[in-house]
Structure 1
Amino acid sequence: MRTTTERLDIKLSNADMFAQLMKANEYTVRTLTEAVQLVLIRKRSKASINKSTIGHLRSGHRNTVNHDVALAIAELFNLPANALFTPKLITVTRDVPKKASK
């Protein structure tokens, strides 16, 4: 059986600009990760972040993040979220195994 749902993807617009903002704000991967995590805790978000995600965003290897993470990063850089990230609603189709009938 196949199921279709919609998902909101938040994509980083420009990895080079992200890296420059990190440098200009004197963030390392570790310090930005810690700062984002503190913002998420303060806002009582269930989202979390790790160093590899920040590193992959900076290198361009990854370009999507959770909505709350995007807002936290933008807040730390003192920018509106849409200056760094672009939301896009996408349709996802997955195969779901049938439940066994009794």
Structure 2
Amino acid sequence: MTDINVNQSENTNNNVEESPESIKNNNAGILTEEIKGELPQEAQQIFAAAFKAAQSDGMSEEGARQVAWNSVKNQYEKGSDGKWHAKGEVTAQHYKAVTSGGN
């Protein structure tokens, strides 16, 4: 009787980063032409990752799209120019305690 090593066929290189081209191919069914034209590349990746995660949790396609848009909106906002821009750290806000005058 011979021993068969079942693990030989498994891919052991789990730490390989995907190329931009393979990411595009993997997201082909998720990203509509409208989303591709509207969102920057990084926002598209956020959208696709959130969509895939929501669907893997058993969400419907419509629900997964809502989750994906919410994920994008957490990090991007639509500017007055109609384009999506990464939200930067808001430097105009100050987190100082409000003090009142008095005794």
- The reply to whether TM is greater than 0.5 is no
Higher relative contact order (CA 8 A, sep 6+): 1
Instruction: Identify the structure with the greater strand proportion.
Output: 1
TM range (shorter): under 0.3
**TM-score, length basis structure 1:** 0.26
